[in-house]
């Protein structure tokens, strides 16, 4: 819709959301026609930016919502497969168009929608995980062509029923997914292979926003390593490249089992995997006098809303205090927070309090954020959500 002020002067073009707490989402500050060519130009601009900043991986975020001036749209690329999220009514209405554009621009093997994010409920939208597109005659584990294009997808009409070989929906054109939808695939990140599940994995299949921080962790890794909240072992496998041995901890047994399989996939044998509550295990390690040289703390968001900030700060302080006590002199702590409601200043304040209570002198080596394929847009603080601090214990 066209937004004007009380005098009728143009302000912006925006998507309107009646049910949303955010009524208007700015699409353009220019009074231009918002048509297919407009959206295609935005998609191509986002892709061009990734060509400049993404390396050492075949999995990355192609479109980062407001960060790419495409509010409500997330597109993640996993090789020649894509995961799509349309998180607002405006973008959800354009879902078919986005699938068509991805097919035209990238010739993918598979496109899925991971519209199971809870934010959709705030927009009055249903929660959906499904396959939106599958190239005819291709299996999900097969490689791309030498040109990176899926030639079998050429000429395919998006939205037409899929065949039984890769089956696309019912006779009304509604999309369905069989239990064996074939969404399990492999990606490579910083020379390490991972198995992911596009339909059931966290986020859209993997935590792509930590890719560059994992590469940094690999550079700092040495001695005995500890990866807390390991999930599928992404940080642990990177630490294993520099550490003599690594302990990977997560409370989820299925997650740890997936981490074990990822280690086996890379012939990595110097990781011990433990199913445990991280808070309890850090306390037990401290009581037992265990010591480490490199520790990673990458917990889930402790503060998912403003009301949870106080409790979250207690949690962040507790795990950081324990980790700092466990580090040998000169040891490195890589500590993260993906809670938007806890900004960098507050996170650093909490880390300083933890250092003080732990009785350690701590040096900040690096202040990092999410990977560059998750751009931060000035004026939209929500796009800066991931804080990653690399700290060294001095004494």
Write down the residue that tokens 């497969």 correspond to.
81
- Output the six-digit token pair for 129: 């995980």
- Output the six-digit token pair for 77: 């690329």
How do beta strands 81-86 and 110-115 pair?
Answer: parallel
Among residues 262, 267, 268, the alpha carbon closest in space to that of 250 is found at 262
Measure the CA–CA gap between 159 and 169, rounded to whole angstroms.
9
In three-state form (DSSP H/G/I as H, E/B as E, the rest C), the secondary structure along 261-304 is HHHHHCCCCCEEEEECCHHHHHHHHHHHCCCEEEEEECCCCCCC
CB 355 within 8 A of CB 363: no
Measure the CA–CA gap between 217 and 298, rounded to whole angstroms.
12
- Output the six-digit token pair for 1: 């819709």
b/e code 114-148 from CB counts within 10 Å (16+ = b): bbebeebeebebeebbbbbbbbeebebeeebeeee
Helices and strands (DSSP H and E) totals, the chain = 10, 17
Instruction: Point out the residues that are catalytic.
Output: 338
The kind and range of the H/E element at 338 are none
Query: 187-190: which pairs have CB atoms within 8 A and are 24 or more residues apart?
Result: 187/57, 187/58, 187/59, 187/78, 187/79, 188/57, 188/58, 188/59, 189/56, 189/57, 189/59, 189/214, 189/234, 190/56, 190/57, 190/214, 190/215, 190/218, 190/238
DSSP state of 168: -
Task: Give backbone dihedrals phi and psi of 250, rounded to 5 degrees, phi first.
Answer: -155, 150
How do beta strands 10-16 and 24-28 pair?
Answer: antiparallel
Q: Residue 102: which residues within 8 A CB-CB, separation 6 or more?
A: 75, 82, 84, 108, 111, 133
């Amino acid at each position: 819709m066209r937004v004007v002020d009380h005098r009728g002067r143009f302000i912006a073009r925006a998507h309107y959301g009646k049910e949303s707490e955010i009524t208007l989402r700015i699409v353009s500050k220019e009074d231009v026609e918002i048509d297919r060519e407009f959206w295609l130009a935005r998609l191509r601009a986002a892709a061009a930016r990734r060509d400049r900043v993404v390396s050492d991986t075949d999995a990355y975020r192609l479109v980062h919502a407001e960060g790419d001036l495409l509010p409500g749209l997330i597109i993640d690329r996993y090789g020649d497969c894509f995961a799509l999220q349309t998180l607002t009514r405006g973008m959800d209405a354009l879902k078919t168009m986005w699938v068509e554009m991805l097919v035209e621009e990238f010739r993918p093997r598979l496109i899925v929608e991971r519209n199971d994010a809870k934010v959709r409920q705030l927009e009055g939208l249903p929660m959906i995980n499904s396959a939106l597109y599958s190239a005819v005659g291709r299996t999900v584990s097969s490689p791309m062509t030498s040109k990176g294009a899926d030639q079998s997808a050429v000429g395919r009409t998006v939205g037409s029923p899929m065949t039984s070989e890769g089956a696309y929906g019912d006779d009304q054109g509604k999309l369905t997914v069989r239990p064996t939808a074939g969404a399990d695939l492999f990606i490579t990140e910083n020379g390490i292979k991972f198995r992911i599940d596009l339909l059931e994995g966290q986020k859209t299949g993997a935590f792509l926003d930590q890719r560059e921080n994992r590469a940094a962790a690999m550079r700092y890794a040495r001695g005995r390593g500890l990866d807390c909240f390991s999930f599928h072992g992404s940080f642990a496998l990177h630490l294993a490249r520099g550490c003599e041995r690594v302990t990977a901890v997560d409370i989820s047994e299925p997650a740890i089992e997936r981490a074990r399989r990822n280690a086996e996939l890379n012939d990595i044998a110097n990781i011990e995997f433990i199913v445990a509550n991280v808070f309890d295990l850090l306390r037990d390690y401290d009581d037992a006098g265990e010591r480490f040289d490199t520790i990673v703390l990458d917990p889930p968001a402790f503060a998912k809303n403003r009301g949870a900030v106080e409790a979250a700060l207690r949690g962040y302080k507790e795990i950081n205090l324990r980790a700092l006590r466990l580090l040998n002199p000169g040891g490195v702590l890589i500590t993260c927070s993906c809670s938007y409601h806890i900004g960098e200043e507050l996170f650093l304040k909490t880390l300083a309090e933890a250092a003080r209570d732990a009785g350690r002198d701590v040096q900040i080596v690096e202040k990092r954020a999410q990977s560059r394929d998750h751009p931060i847009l000035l004026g939209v603080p929500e796009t800066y959500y991931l804080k990653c601090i690399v700290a060294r214990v001095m004494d």
